[in-house]
Structure 1
Amino acid sequence: MATKRRSALREADKLDEVSIEPFLAFGNGKELFVKGRVISPYKQSRPRSKNNWLRNVLAAVRRYSVVTLPGLKVRISLGESEWEVETDQDGVFEAMIPEPNERIDQVTFQLEPIPRTRVKNGFLEIQRFFSERGVISDIDDTVLISHSTDIGKKLWLSVSKNAYTRRPLPGVSAFYERLTRRGEFPLFYVSSSDWSLFDLIRDFLRYRNIPQGPILLKDQHINLKNIWKSGGGGHYHKLEKLRLLFNMFPAMRWTLIGDSGQHDPEIYHEISNEFPGRVLAVFIRVVNPSKQEDRIKQRLEKYPEFFFVENTEEAIDIAEKQNLF
């Protein structure tokens, strides 16, 4: 362990600056889930809708050129209470910590000192949720047009476009506004995109006026050598994220939204079986009709909470009939 620590500090010491990039801080009043990563910072000008594909590709190169730093200690402070965690092999850290009796609205993250290296620490405002209902949505081809079933198209879109030039699925903003009753119910996003796309997804949601919410992505470091894997691989990490949310908010009943291209139907079916009575409705957008998708649809349509739709208008019509608004 001591050897691993020394190695981690030597790697960090080679950099001029190291930065904590905080991602999540949400709680239920009793416990708080926090997540972030430690990376070499990168300079990124704010994207613009007028940027051409070359500018966007260069921005993607900078995004995926960051160095992630494993084995470093991060101190998490909540009021007068502190916890220490260590970054994993991808530079990611997370913790579930008890909330103090007094209400604290901000959590801070501080990296251990590194000789000759500037350290940029971070903080997040805490989100707390207490409602009886919630919404969980996939992102690719559910909110954001991604062509996830075509690796080449998906990769080109992810590097040649930015937060202001990527296109949403028509009608998604209005649909989610109604499902969340304009913020009364929380909305969580669970996706197989990697954490390097966190800022792009966040800015995209803001720019397109799509309701905000915690974004839970895949714990896999993507760099320039393996960028083609972005959004690929297994998708059952989503099941872990769903279990986290279902267990953390035991009084909530959920509406789940996804597409047929990345195993969302099977994953949502499994979570529905694990937590009987907790799923109000499942909306699956049919991406690319095929024999395999037809088999999945025929198998799951017998469950009253599953609805396979071709567009948002169809989903809205069903949601109205199910009294979800």
Structure 2
Amino acid sequence: MATPTPHPSQRPHLAAVVEDHLYAAAGWLLSRLGWRPRLEVYTGYGTPDRVRVLARVLLAPRGHTGPERDQLRAGRRGFRHFLTVPAPHQRVGVRVGETASDVVSDRAGYVDVELPTTAPLSTGTHAVTLTCLDVPEPVTGEATVLVLGQDTRFGVVSDMDDTTMVTAVPRPLLAAWNTFVRHSSARRPVPGMADLYRTVREAHPEAPFFYLSTGAWNTAGTLRAFLAQHGYPAGPLLLTDWGPTLTGWFRSGPAHKDASLDLLMSWFPHVRWLLVGDDGQHDPDIYDRAARRSPGRVRAVAIRELTGGQQVLAGNAPGNGASAEGEAPVPTVTGRDGTELARRLAEVPGVLRAAG
């Protein structure tokens, strides 16, 4: 699921056309074999007056449903998460509180819809009921939305790969091994990061945690299980789609993160954010751009430092994480793990202690 962007051309990219035809053929065959749509639900977010609902319609054998999927998937080898066939252009009924609407899944089966609420929602988590309408037998799923009130003043946006979990994304071959071959449950947490996040939560009990990654939505169940297993605060995942787009073979990771941060800033103008990432890819520049586009909205930036060798393999010069535009507009700390970052964030007012 990618954040919508204007499409400059009326003609879809060849890769998208090929993918659509392959999925159509696979969908026809699986439907003949008795497969039917099922709902993969995610956690959205919103305000008392509007919500963003996230889900996906996939094809699956009969009986392949239920809340135990996340636990089962945690033990799979990585490539199995990508063996999915979407159910595009399916009508889906969405109900949250007193608000009900019918929407249509996109070409990859995703439901990503913003709905105004009929009656204001209270702060906290709300259930969202989704129903596939184009099937003879009821197919339902229950997603959630996290509603932030006007009294929410602090929040956290965290990268995933090499920030919360050790995946060695800067090393392409090892990253591929970690993603597609290793069992998902074998991933290790970055030392001290869960403790850091729990410390932030103690200082700001109302603070939401968003996990922003260029990883695919196919891995959402595994990522949720990983976060829960290692004691990270729960929160919405902001992931992207797997495969080509209408404009090219690959999606832009930095563009996805830029757009996601801009959405959060626009939905929650009253929140000041702690942005946490690593220097193995583009997080320092992405967070710097976000702070410059939205002055006064970023409380601090925390960057986990990878080794010099990892940065070279990633195409970065060691120690070159500072913005090319000059001094960062917000306090920025670095450290090799969560313990070092916590020690340095303790010196930044209003982060590890609630603002007085």
Q: Would the alpha carbon gap of residues 309 and 302 (structure 1) be closer, same or farther in structure 2, given more than 3 Å must change?
A: farther
Confirm or deny: 8 A CA contact 1:141 1:169 kept in the other structure: yes
Distance between the aligned counterparts of 1:293 and 1:93, measured in 2? 40
Same amino acid, percent of matched pairs: 26
Confirm or deny: 8 A CA contact 1:17 1:119 kept in the other structure: no
TM-score (norm 1): 0.83
Question: 2:327 — aligned with what?
Answer: 302
Match of 2:345, SS state, is helix
Letter in 2 for 1:247: S
- Cα deviation, 1:38-82, whole Å, max 9, x if unaligned, reads 112365694599x6xxxx43xx44422210122222221224432
Confirm or deny: 8 A CA contact 1:13 1:114 kept in the other structure: no
Alignment length, in residue pairs?
Answer: 302
Unaligned 5+ segments in structure 1 are: 223-228
When structure 1 is superposed on structure 2, of 160-169 and 209-218 the one drifting more is 160-169
2:274 to 251, 255, 264: 255
When structure 1 is superposed on structure 2, of 302-311 and 194-203 the one drifting more is 302-311
Question: 1:23 — aligned with what?
Answer: 42
1:207 to 229, 234, 242: 229
1:261 is displaced (CA, Å) by: 1.7
1:127 is displaced (CA, Å) by: 2.0
Question: 1:125 — aligned with what?
Answer: 144
Distance between the aligned counterparts of 1:103 and 1:277, measured in 2? 27
Confirm or deny: 8 A CA contact 1:255 1:281 kept in the other structure: yes
Match of 2:94, SS state, is strand
TM-score (norm 2): 0.76
Confirm or deny: 8 A CA contact 2:36 2:60 kept in the other structure: yes
Distance between the aligned counterparts of 1:282 and 1:100, measured in 2? 37
1:95 aligns with 2:95: no
Question: 2:15 — aligned with what?
Answer: none
2:265 to 234, 237, 246: 246
Question: 1:314 — aligned with what?
Answer: 340
1:153 aligns with 2:174: yes
Unaligned 5+ segments in structure 2 are: 1-19, 245-249
1:196 to 191, 194, 218: 218
Question: 1:41 — aligned with what?
Answer: 60
- Cα deviation, 1:287-310, whole Å, max 9, x if unaligned, reads 243463433337478324222322
1:135 is displaced (CA, Å) by: 0.5
Distance between the aligned counterparts of 1:269 and 1:206, measured in 2? 29
Confirm or deny: 8 A CA contact 1:195 1:221 kept in the other structure: no
Match of 1:180, SS state, is helix
1:109 aligns with 2:135: no
- Cα deviation, 1:57-112, whole Å, max 9, x if unaligned, reads 3xx44422210122222221224432222222221111111122254832111112
Distance between the aligned counterparts of 1:68 and 1:112, measured in 2? 16
Question: 1:72 — aligned with what?
Answer: 90
Confirm or deny: 8 A CA contact 2:227 2:234 kept in the other structure: yes
Match of 1:121, SS state, is strand
Confirm or deny: 8 A CA contact 2:55 2:143 kept in the other structure: no
Confirm or deny: 8 A CA contact 2:331 2:348 kept in the other structure: no
Q: Would the alpha carbon gap of residues 48 and 38 (structure 1) be closer, same or farther in structure 2, given more than 3 Å must change?
A: closer
Confirm or deny: 8 A CA contact 2:39 2:57 kept in the other structure: yes
Distance between the aligned counterparts of 2:323 and 2:140, measured in 1? 51
Confirm or deny: 8 A CA contact 1:235 1:262 kept in the other structure: no
When structure 1 is superposed on structure 2, of 19-28 and 35-44 the one drifting more is 35-44
Q: Would the alpha carbon gap of residues 45 and 134 (structure 1) be closer, same or farther in structure 2, given more than 3 Å must change?
A: closer
- Cα deviation, 1:132-169, whole Å, max 9, x if unaligned, reads 00000000000010110112211212234445321000
Question: 1:134 — aligned with what?
Answer: 155
Question: 2:317 — aligned with what?
Answer: 292
Distance between the aligned counterparts of 1:100 and 1:320, measured in 2? 42
Letter in 1 for 2:334: F
Distance between the aligned counterparts of 1:234 and 1:103, measured in 2? 33
Aligned residue runs from structure 1 range 47-62, under 5 A: 47=72, 56-57=76-77, 60-62=78-80
Match of 1:38, SS state, is strand
Match of 1:213, SS state, is coil
Confirm or deny: 8 A CA contact 1:297 1:308 kept in the other structure: no
Letter in 2 for 1:314: E
1:181 is displaced (CA, Å) by: 2.3
Match of 1:88, SS state, is coil
Confirm or deny: 8 A CA contact 1:47 1:164 kept in the other structure: no
Confirm or deny: 8 A CA contact 2:287 2:301 kept in the other structure: yes
